[in-house]
Each structure stands twice: as C-alpha cells, then as structure tokens.
A = this chain, B = another copy of it.
C-alpha cells in the first residue's frame, strides 16, 4: 500500500476529478464555434486573468488599489509548463521538497531543503520557519509551499517579513492545489495578499491540475509581482525569450476547460462545492484513522493527524509493513478509504507496539 501519491484520491482509490470538469470537457468537444489554433506564447489571456483572480481574489485590495491608482499592473503572468524556473539563474535556493530541489538544481542553483515539521512536537513549528530564514544565505531564493498550518503570531510575522527584507531573500510561492487545504479558495492563498500588502516582489507558481483533476495537462501560471513597471518589463522580456525557446505556443485543453469553469458562475459554484466535499471527506478520513488507533489502544497521541489541513499530512512515525510511507512520514490521507483503513491503522498500531521504547521517533503524549 503506497500512501504518498501526489494527487487527491477518491474513496474508490482513483485520482479525483471534479465532476464539473467532465461536463465541461464534453461541452467543449461539441462546440463547433471553437478553434484549435496556436495560443500566444504567453498563454490564453482569459485563462491568465481568471487564474490571477483566483489567486489574489477578484476584489482583493491589492488589485483594486492598483487599478484605482493607475499604477502599472504589478503582475506579469506566464503560463507555467510543468516546471518552475526563475530567471536569475544561479545562486542559492531553499526548498520545501525534493522535487522543488530537482527543478532548481537543473538550473544551476545551490539547493538546500528545509522542513517546518517538528517530528518531536508533532506539529508544524513557526519557530523552525523563522530559524530557516535566519540561517539561509543573504540574497537566496526561498520557495514557500503550504504553510497554512504554520501558526505564526503577529510578532512572528513581523520578524519573518523584516528578515526577508533585510536579507534580500526572494520569495517564490508554490500553490499546487489551491482549495484543497482548507476547502476555501481565499483562505488557501491569504499569504499572497499579505506579501503584496507588505510591498514584496515575488514569484508565484500556481498549478491547477490537482484542484480540477486535470492531471494529464500540467496547466498553471507563473505570476510575477514586481515593485515597479520598469522592473516588470525587464523580467517580462527575459521570460518571453525563454518561453519562445521552450514552448513557443502553450497547450490549450486544460486552460480552456478551466477558463470555461471559472468564467461561468454556475460552473464555478459547482467546482467550489466539489472542493469543499473533497476536503470534508479527507477530514472525515483523518478522524476515522485517529478513532481506529484509539480503539486499537495504540500508544501515543494522534491529535496531530486531525490538526493538519489538506490531503497530505505527517503521520508522525516511521513504519514498515506493506504500507510504504516517505522518510519524513508525510502521507496523502486521501489514499485511505473504507477498504484499507483497518489494514492501515492495524499496521500503524503494530509498528508502534514493536518499536516502543526504541530510539525510533514515535508520537509521544504531548505535554500541554
């Protein structure tokens, strides 16, 4: 049993697809008015606009303010094709996962990996994040993934912002599945609005494959937030050159389906509802896992399972059986369903009993 698939799984053990996607796909294939011509190098305009509004909110203060003040639009958007890349090239980068590391390594970056999960305290620790930022080199790129569970205090946020600014760290947000953390699209990207409000320049890659269930199209955008128009134009020109050499014309299918959904209020509502249902289902699975472990009398505290948001979560132990989990113990809870939950929780229980007292890191009762 492999519990670390990248994507959200259904109760039947298949990758999840929002029902509204299937409906829209069929609609599109029957529409004789559509053409299948080349897209512009920088992507389908309506798709970019819709994705951007999804990320920052249609009425987000930042966007509205910028329009009102007639400043240069601070976002340059680029269709992102599968990989993330940063134009600077070279230098150091600090990444939250191995996969991010591979992407940056290929471009000549010196890569270091960080994790904000504390395997002893069994929680995402804001202090670890602050330590990471304190220790990484000046001028480094910092890739920030899902930190929704990282509950920074107001003074923690202030410290984070001041360190990033003074050390000239370049933030690169990665939003691989907006809406699949809390079930609320706005809640999942609140951090972007915070960084905009603090006057940062940053990159943000947004993938829309997982939250729509279009896994075979790698659809998404790269957003650049610059501090002024001149800088934006410079970046734009470099990115355009790269895009011309890399793909020239991006693929349409995924972008077309998603645009149709995001621009139609009825379809949009259906999609939002489907995200809510997925997340509720995952929370239910987590509750069940915790309850089964309690009934089995498994030693340790398992509250951390339900305290984490989203499909993926740290189980908090190393275990072997025929259950395979990554070294860091982060698993995809949507891989657990009615058919395998008993096998899995019994496996966890057994592993815990067998290794109790040994040096292997196990969940211990939390000190309150």
Contact = CB atoms under 8 A, between A and B. Distances in A.
A250 B247 CA distance: 12
A217 B250 CA distance: 7
A351 to B, nearest CB: 30
Q: Which of A218, A241, A247 has the most CB of B within 10 A?
A: A218
Given A217-B251, A242-B106, A252-B217, A14 B35 contact: yes
A71 B1 CA distance: 38
Q: Which of A102, A106, A241, A248 has the most CB of B within 10 A?
A: A248
Nearest to A212: B36
A242 B102 CA distance: 10
Contacts of A6: 38
A32 to B, nearest CB: 9
Given A83-B245, A106-B242, A214 B36 contact: yes
A39 interface: yes
Contact of A213 (B17, B36, B39, B254): B36
A216 B107 contact: no
A15 interface: yes
A177 to B, nearest CB: 14
A25 interface: yes
A138 interface: no
Copy count, this protein chain = 2
Given A244-B102, A254-B251, A30 B36 contact: no
Interface in A209-250: 213-218, 241-242, 244-250
A15 B30 contact: no
A253 interface: yes
Contact of A251 (B39, B103, B216): B216
A249 B38 contact: no
A326 interface: no
Given A217-B253, A245-B103, A81 B83 contact: no
A82 B249 contact: yes
A37 interface: yes
Given A99-B248, A107-B245, 9 more contacts: A26-B29, A38-B215, A81-B81, A83-B248, A102-B244, A106-B245, A217-B253, A218-B250, A251-B254
